[in-house]
Amino acid sequence: MSSDKLYGIIVAGVGGQGAITLAQLFLGAAWRSRLHTMQSEVHGMSQRGGSVNAQISISKAEVTAPLLLSGAVDLLISMEPLEALRYVPFLSKNATIITSTEPTINMDNYPDINLILGALREIPGTILVDTAEHAKKLANKNAGNMVLLGVASNYTPIDKTIWHTIIEERFASKGEKVVVKNIEAFDIGKKIIAPSS
Amino acid sequence: MSKNAKNESLLLGDEAVGFAAIDAGLTGIFGYPGTPSTEVFEAVEAEFKKNGVANRVARWAANEKVGYEFALGCSYIGKRSMVTMKHVGLNVAMDPFVNSAITGVNGGLVVVVADDPGMHSSQNEQDSRYLADFANLPCLEPSTPQEAYDFTTYAFELSEKLRLPVLLRLVTRLAHTRGVVARQEMKEPTDLGIPNSESRFNWVLIPSNARLQYQRLRDNFGQLLEAADDFNKFKKGDRRGVVVSGMGKANFDQLCKEEATISKFSKLEVMAYPLNDSLIDKMLESCDEIYIFEENYPYIEDKFIAKTRQTKIRGRRDGTLNIAGELDPGVLRQALKLSMPEKKKGPTIDLPARPPRMCDGCGHIDAYNAMKEAFNIIGVSDPRVFGDIGCYTLGAQPPFEGIDTCVEMGASLGMALGAAMSGQVPSVGVIGDSTFFHSGLPTLISLVESKVNANFVIMDNRITAMTGQQEVVATDIIPQLAQAAGLLPEQVHILTPLPKKHEENVKKLVEIFKNNRPDLIIFKRDCIQAMRKGLYAKINEEKKAGGHGHE
Ligand code: SF4
């Protein structure tokens, strides 16, 4: 995000996975960085285990539109690989995709996961994150989202200390331990960089 | 959410409205939950809970009409009040809405109605601006969370100045968008006292008073126009022009940052209604071609079309934009024939949709399974069941296909009874407890008298589950209500929708369906999500204390 151009992010997932929480962290971090920002989310029926997305706009100039221009979105963060594929048509040619490889199978016709991951690998600018593996290593079953956020933070003009503050504020009510664990997961994500393409 | 020195915080459009109401000295907020309006009430309720509620009240009502009447009563005694609802809720509250324009108000009354262009969680995408027009009331339409805050603040002042309710119109994308909002200092609740001897009879709408009051409402139209004129801005530019309101404005303003040509257009920003004819004339004089971006019926557009033959009006009527659906940056770009971005190439495999579904282990699932089998046993191979609005609406989808209609709140029972009286055997209507209290209760009274094989099924989980588990006005009283209305104890059945009770429930349902009389079946089991959140503790406590519902 170099020019004055609006930077658009979509956070995708399945209802209940925490896509909106993650989007709110982006919003908070952008605001703290004195950037203009806005974020739209879905509530209601669609949260009940369906496909959900939240959109975030970040800009050096004022932002007024809640929705992003389809085909011009710069960054996709998906908590679920099938959902990642669903939002590819919203992305710009050079967009980055950061997605978990862990499927949420709450439907009868879920395609073969290898087909999904194969399709994702073929799309340039895709970073597959084995969130299940990270969660296991960190002994923190909720680590996945924070790892994804850490990876994504490399594509935003937001300082690491601001990210840490935002995570701290968000999870403070859940106790010191949760905060530390989340920051740990975030930092691991931050070290993951795109495979050279 | 943390605040900074300028008293700014990150708020949803809905929350901005709620906080503005508190800061403006609100006494009472009322309403009925409905996406996308619910968070207005919830923001206020949460603040009241956090900071103490001396002299203030937040209360869900049985339905929007009752909520509106609560607010009107609050206004009558001189206090500022707000009522919140989704667009179709205003249909339910139409009676007090229209007549409160005739009586006028005392304390400021702001009616928050959230429309749902694109029908994200609704049965239609009706446009509330027409209803403000119909009732001769002013309507404000913000386009950003900050405007949502500012317009709400002003709406209370305007309401007290005009002595009329003010409709604040939101749409889904504003209601559920977070942005930076600067708050003002919080005022203590204001109090204008009860109507004085002069205005006392304005509230008694017997014909002699109503005629006078209605005439006055019409005569004061000029004041409404003046108030709206303060908000609506005209700027002369190119012979190409644009009229924007709400999300049309939000999207167009964004687009102007990227496209220099369109920022030179002549422009009319509409943020308040009624829209003055003189502004329409100014636009028409300045332009040969006008684009109209409004959400979502062609309300402003039709006013322009009616006034011109020369100027080309580009909008939803001439097909520049689709007649249905919501606006987004792509829709505007296409309408204005601007360049579209170069997209990433998508996957070549077919992606199955992932629609919302009932939670694993939800009692509704067991209820539908039992009903399906019971129909099978009595030999109805293609049953048609009347449904309603709630989580259980999701039971219309495979694999359940347990209901065949979803029309409006309460329709399940009315339609089931209507079909039964017209020859359907057995006739079944499925409704949730909150929806039952909202609009099903009168139909229960009719059921008793009907003597036909109509079966009302209440999916009772003691919570308004779908909109995020709000409290219901009453819990655990339906069997007593039914019996008080005249159903015999043997016509009221309480079943537990659990897998282990399946056989038992099927057997019972078979008996009931075969029985040629009205029956009430209550499938009673708590919502899993509400249980996880610990929401029943309070309800159970109240029960123990001897009351039900709130207090
Ligand atoms: S929220 Fe409650 S009522 Fe709705 S589907 Fe889930 S468990 Fe059932």
Identify the DSSP state of B343. Answer: B
Q: Which residue has the tokens 């809970």?
A: B49
Task: Scan residues 20-79 of A and list those with Cβ closer than 8 Å to B.
Answer: 24, 27-28, 31, 37-51, 61-72
As separate numbers, helices (DSSP H) first and strands (DSSP E) second, chain B gives 22, 18
Distance of alpha carbon B33 from alpha carbon B62, whole angstroms: 10
Rounded alpha-carbon distances, angstroms, from residue B272 to A170, B142, B278, B334: 37, 8, 14, 27
Q: What is the ipTM of this complex?
A: 0.94
For the domain made up of A7-102+110-190, the CATH class stated in words is alpha beta
Which protein residue has the closest C-alpha to ligand 1 atom 3? B527
Q: Best residue in A34, A36, A67 to probe B by mutation, most B CBs within 10 Å?
A: A67
Q: In this model, does residue A3 exceed pLDDT 70?
A: no
Position A57, amino acid: S
pLDDT of res. B6: 75
pLDDT of res. B539: 83
Instruction: Report phi then psi at B114, rounded to 5.
Output: -105, 115
> With an 8 Å Cβ cutoff, is A157 touching chain B?
no
Residue B55, CA atoms < 13 Å, CB-side half-sphere: 12
Radius of gyration of chain B (CA): 26
E strand or H helix at A97: strand A91-100
Mutate to test the pocket of ligand 1, among B360, B364, B526 (most ligand atoms within 8 A of CB): B364
Q: Do B354 and A51 touch (CB under 8 A)?
A: yes
In what side-by-side order are the strands of the sheet with B492-495?
B427-432, B454-460, B519-524, B492-495
Quick count: other Cβ atoms within 10 Å of Cβ A61? 12
pLDDT of res. B547: 52
Helices B277-286 and B299-307: crossing angle, nearest 10°? 70
Query: pTM of the entire structure?
Result: 0.95
Q: Do B254 and A115 touch (CB under 8 A)?
A: no
Q: Are B149 and B183 in contact (CB under 8 A)?
A: yes
Please report the sign of the dihedral spanned by the C-alpha atoms of residue B125, residue B127, residue B128, residue B131: negative
Distance B201 CA to ligand 1 centre (A): 48
Residue B232, CA atoms < 13 Å, CB-side half-sphere: 26
Q: Do A64 and B174 touch (CB under 8 A)?
A: no
Please report the sign of the dihedral spanned by the C-alpha atoms of residue B235, residue B239, residue B245, residue B249: negative
Distance of alpha carbon B476 from alpha carbon B482, whole angstroms: 12
Residue predicted with more confidence, B44 or A45: B44
Length of chain B: 551
Quick count: other Cβ atoms within 10 Å of Cβ B348? 7
The string of pLDDT tens digits covering residues A135-175 is: 999 998 889 999 999 999 999 989 999 999 999 999 999 99
Which residues of chain B neighbour A31 with C-beta distances below 8 Å?
10, 180
Distance of alpha carbon A180 from alpha carbon A167, whole angstroms: 9
The string of pLDDT tens digits covering residues B186-234 is: 999 999 999 998 899 999 999 999 999 999 999 999 999 999 999 999 9
In this prediction, residues B338-365 reach a mean pLDDT of 91
Nearest to B505 by CA among B522, B488, B527: B522
| pLDDT-based confidence at residue B4 (cuts at 50, 70, 90) | low
b/e map B237-250, b = 16+ CB within 10 Å: ebebbbbbbbbbbb
The string of pLDDT tens digits covering residues B254-308 is: 999 999 999 999 999 999 999 999 999 999 999 999 999 999 999 999 999 999 9
Quick count: other Cβ atoms within 10 Å of Cβ A139? 8
Distance of alpha carbon A138 from alpha carbon A160, whole angstroms: 20
Quick count: other Cβ atoms within 10 Å of Cβ B192? 16
| pLDDT-based confidence at residue B548 (cuts at 50, 70, 90) | very low
DSSP code per residue over B355-409 = ---PPTT-HHHHHHHHHHHHHHHTT-SS---B--SSGGGGGGSTTT-------ST
Q: Is the CB of B465 inside a 6 Å radius of any atom of ligand 1?
A: yes
pLDDT of res. B550: 39
Length of chain A: 197
Q: Best residue in A48, A55, A110 to probe B by mutation, most B CBs within 10 Å?
A: A48
**Mean pLDDT estimate for chain B:** 95
Radius of gyration of chain A (CA): 16
Residues A184/A188/A190/A191 CA torsion (nearest 10 deg): 140
Give the CA diameter of chain B: 76
Counting residues of chain B whose pLDDT is more than 90, the rounded percentage is: 91
Tokens representing B174 are 């504003």
- Burial environment of residue B57 by CB neighbours within 10 A (0 to 12, 13 to 18, 19 or more): middle
Q: What domains appear along chain B, each with residue ranges and CATH number?
A: 7-229 (3.40.50.970), 233-335 (3.40.50.920), 363-544 (3.40.50.970)
- Please give the residue of chain B at the shortest CA–CA distance from A88: B346
Which residues of chain B neighbour A5 with C-beta distances below 8 Å?
258
Strands B139-140 and B109-115, by their bridges, are unpaired
Distance of alpha carbon B518 from alpha carbon B453, whole angstroms: 5
